[in-house]
Chain A
Amino acid sequence: MKRVYMDNAATTALKKEVLDAMMPYLTDIYGNPSSLHTFGQEAHKAVENARHQVAKAINAADDKEIIFTGCGTESDNMVLLGIAQRYSKKGKHIITSAVEHHAVLYTCERLEKMGYEVTYLPVDEYGMVTAAQVSEAIRPDTILVSIMFGNNEVGTIMPIKRIGEVCREKGVFFHTDAVQAVGHIHIDVQDMNIDLLSLSAHKFHGPKGVGALYVKKGIVVPALLTGGAQERNKRAGTENVAGIVGLGKAIELACSAIDETSAMMTHLRDKLMTGIAGSIPEVKLNGHPTERLPGNVNFSIKYIEGESILLMLDINGIAASSGSACTSGSLDPSHVLLAMGLPHEIAHGSLRLTLGDDTTEEEVDYVLEVLPKVVERLRKMSPLYKG
């Protein structure tokens, strides 16, 4: 049977070139980068080369501004907990949005329990926060603004440069969780006034279990993990050398071809969006129609439930995702869809299809052929559908 992977926001396939770049560090070059001998120094060189690749990809001024971490979640935790701890003398107020990934939201909740105050900015119907909202929320005791670059569920791209500008003007650090954006849209931390940025390799065809954090020179983010002197004392623990090499290679590959791949993905995304809207009645596009990640398609399909759609698609070889309660593992559907004002019953019927740079037109056509049949079948079963 045909197998079509449309869940690239969850994770992506490792590229062959990336695996090839990693392989030597899983076999022959096994030294510890902290060791003085040649075995160690070879590994050390590879880590520093990857650091340079990351710095270049996001236009960081200095390689030293990049810290390798274990994942995007760790980068987010490190920023929030670290900045809160280090700058608490200035204040204990943090601003974020209601649609962040749980890596940010749950860490903010932890900070609230520790005596910090967090403002969760509401979003509009597209899942967007404005720079004006951020500006109004900033107080003298605000120490950090954390707004994601691109939303993992609905794909909405936030006005990052303008939010960064506002933060810069008011002298507040600005962090962006760019886990879904890196490798897919142009990011220039200097031009976009970004002080801190989280990224994760497995979202741009790199390996799982390795991420990075950009920290602008002059900002102090204390270590989350203490121990050895790795990462200039910012992240203890022997480096995941092969993973870091893979991250470096993947970000270089993704960013060197970003214009072509994102144009191609946007074309396929729009074909999928118009195709679904045109062939299935009573659907609602979630997220912004144009300000959205090149690979993200998210619809609410009325009268049916998300998990059923996923199971039925999976039977047909298509891998997708949903924001329904049944798939989120809680009683409530996705916090992102609810924050955008969707009623529970519409949020339960959400379907996310996310493309990768390896998605083909043929695969999009296959989804467009299968999905209407799946929807019709499930609607026939639904007591809510009168069609």
Chain B
Amino acid sequence: MYTEKVMDHFSNPRNMGEVEGANGVGMVGNAKCGDIMQMFLKINDEGIIEDVGFKTFGCGAAVATSSMATELIKGKSIDEALNLTNSAVVEALEGLPPAKLHCSVLAEEAVKAAIDNYYARKEGRDIECTCADCGHDHEHEHAHEDDESEEA
């Protein structure tokens, strides 16, 4: 069902875990739908993503797309990271089953949410909820981690 590349990223996820000193953190998805992705970015003064990490609750594709997304943006500029598309993630994984394409969308959104959070902190904006809408009609139930890591 999954390509070797997907299974490789699932069984040996890259950049898994929180990043110390992260200055952009975004979380998308919803436990009710079965996937949540959290992305941690450490962006330096030149606007380069020095370090990146992820945490994911979800299926094999959710884990693999998060892992691949971190690889694709590590060491890149913010603009480059903002240009990351879900299809680039799918391509890098050598394909995903059609039913799992939404996971790659989530990975793209997780990166964007983390960057948005980085700018929000910089500008002192209120941090908005960036949870993706999965099409289900329900409330957001998960904790919003952004607030927590702000203190760190």
Contacts and interface: CB of A to CB of B under 8 A. Distances in A.
Contact of B60 (A308, A331, A344, A383): A308
A381 B34 contact: no
A325 B34 contact: yes
A345 B31 contact: yes
Contacts, number: 73
Contacts of B13: 381
Contacts of A343: 32
Interface in B76-94: none
How big is chain B's contact interface, by range?
Answer: 20 to 34
Interface string A37-48: 000000000000
A326 interface: yes
Given A329-B99, A384-B142, A344 B31 contact: yes
Contacts of A382: 55-57
Given A333-B34, A384-B142, A303 B57 contact: yes
Interface string B1-21: 010000100110100110000
Contacts of A311: 2, 7, 10, 60
B107 interface: no
A28 to B, nearest CB: 40
Interface string A1-39: 000000000000000000000000000000000000000
Contacts of A297: none
A305 B35 contact: yes
Given A343-B32, A383-B36, 11 more contacts: A303-B57, A305-B35, A305-B58, A306-B59, A308-B62, A325-B34, A326-B61, A383-B38, A383-B56, A383-B145, A384-B36
Interface of A: 303-308, 311-312, 315, 324-326, 329, 331, 333, 343-345, 348, 380-384
